A and B are shown apart, each in its own frame.
Chain A
């Protein structure tokens, strides 16, 4: 024997079997990567500091099995380097392979004792007697013939030193189900059950041309031309119940043979195979009909059919692991693996062992637990409509029961169906069973989120900024806020990021100034910016739907109106539901009148806005904090100044200075009171609110962060025109950061604005998402007015001795937070627009809320 290659499956558990000194470790070293080999001696060393410590055997094997299970779970080939001469040593290894749905391989190194003894004699650490090797050898000899029944699927016995040395390599073969390099596009077709007419109709609709030819060369009388580059995939259950199973079989076999199609087996197909192979099967569930229909076929065809059925692979993994097809679906941990359990799952799915009111087995809905990255397309259970659930879809729409035959186009994710010509069989359970359920499967599933998706330390990957980490203590804080105060999470598709102020100004008397913000953007290589007036209200996110039907179908929410208006922590803005309804209706009407729905081809919109007055939402804060301080301070200071004036008459040294100081405090308090008063007005009804939207965040199929701010302002102004009473157009200017004239225009605008009591300005890069030299650029920088800052930093912040201290503030924490929250916010919208399961959207929204509990100076 020269230059032999051993072939083993790519993912296998290789069990080396050989007595001490047979050369297992050398063999392993020669043919496998170091990390793939688990040696019992090494494990002995790890747990006891002595590779030959027999007393450590139990611990060593526990460790070896543990490591092996982690590797197999992660889909890595693993080699066990231990004597493995006893069946009880091999049993747990076979079990391990089974647990992880991979194949156990036995490689026996059967070397004469003499050779081994010589080798051992040369090693000072192996000082055991000859009786040990002899005993091992006899155990090994006895083992060989039992390996197959123990469950080993591939067995190689190398029975001489020469043979062992002749092995030049170990070839790893892909599993049959591995079609990762086949990328599609595909047309995946659900359970046909002998409905030949509907199948040809569907294939024709999908662009396939079916030509009849003479039978021969394995074409079974069909020659199918596929549309450009496409292939069909049949999800099994080709036969039984329907009118023409043989023709269906022939068409599919022809397509598979010619490479036009793939096919996975269904439980009905496998039962037919058993029948054809002469096994004792009951002719139930339509099999009798198939058997009858096949009577006319010749023995040659029947043999080919047997071969075809025998060759069917339980499931396929396509397109780099992005698509998995199996008759009854497949859990993530079984995808791309091979075992009896995998095959059985592919055929029958998961059942609970119970039966339902129709006498059918209760199927455990594995899809509701599915978290995998691959899309899973399957059939098996007839459903009235094919529906997505956690990236899985059942497309068996019950053609044979009078439903329809459906195909899913991949990667388009488009469903194509043809109606059944008639009811060929009566289903045990009516097709429209549970038809009264109004929400889609995904929406119903999303009614309840799982706590595992939000608690603990979380790492969320975002398109804009890679991974964003949420620390455990922050999720703890967010869980309470989210579950006690936030809206139904189905509404919460976005939370706005925090916004950083400009760098601290050098100008005397100013903490913030637009010049600093412009400098920042310039330093980031941003050329053009938009300066928007900052309204002093409450930051508000609005979700407005065209009608209640949209709320139900798109958001999966019932009886909660046609929209919501929520704060930056996800709380409902309105406490009064009647007022809320009126408000939402007004916004909806404006959108309708602006032809927004048609123009954006959408039934819903997510708007980012400021809602005024501030006093409407912040009433408690205003009264308990702001007005209270004003009231106390002004009442006290009147008396203080009086008493100091009185004392001043007495010419006491130092009183004059004191009087001056307290008089200036009195002025600052008056300024402070004026400052907060600017943002208050009484609200008696919906007419007293002012809404200033500034971003159209998302509509069906689109997140509008790819549009510049001029676009947002323009589109929003068209909505505002419809309701001048409620909507406020945000005044803004677009300037180049190098245009001196533009800059001075903006500065004087800002100065005028803030001196009149305006809150200030927000400066944003012209493009919504801007990446500069150092990565993502702040999406917005606020420059707050001198007077407004009194209500942030305290009435007396402007006193020179206070200002000096306050100017010493750091922004880096706030800036990093703003970017992380921005990335999460955009991510959540993108996920929602892609119709990902709610947990994927919620994870980001929850993340923003959690990040908000990071300790950062709230005055920034």
Chain B
């Protein structure tokens, strides 16, 4: 908190104020130790509620998680969280989540563009459909996807013979992760596209830019920060996803087992401390990836202003 400098301490060295007129000023009224003054209401209360909720909802659970994992001691922690099976699970988790987030943010950009810029019948319906993955229990999505893509499924009967295995495979994991993370990528970019100034696109065209030059040089730099934010949200959502993956991935250790599934299977073995250790590693990885992405996003924002 910045407190205003008090006359008694920090200003003493400076002597009389430089303008030389301070003698003419009426003596200032006794300072009401003014906090940061603002006309906006309720700063104190809202700040208190915010910090309380953050502590109750985020800080305490995470602290318990870390404390529980710490009870293992360094060697015990490594033995639980850095087994070959766990390392494979991290790799599957991170790899499929990154892939899904990249696909979601590119696809999300496209869908958002279509929803904002194109007039077509059924646009409202499509716009409403975007939010469905948020409302649908993700286990349902996992079940539907796996029935579709298994060898005898509607899509699988055509795809499996040509070598595309959409169920019980990494591809399946990526598919459901795109499904659950796409709404975030769309909804973050959509309002930014809506707020784009069409004049600048017209200006670019009048200056002789082609469609693609206009998009890549004029439009994209303006929405890239939002695309990256959408990527970060999609990534976070994908890293934490459990319900749909558990049904479509087949959960084969070293192949299609993601870290959250491994955590649950440890819990089923009553190995609570081991489970928390894996969770802490997963948390650390997710957090550092999100920090990197957010930093990138900040830099893009600064660059585009």
Are A and B genuine complex partners?
A: no
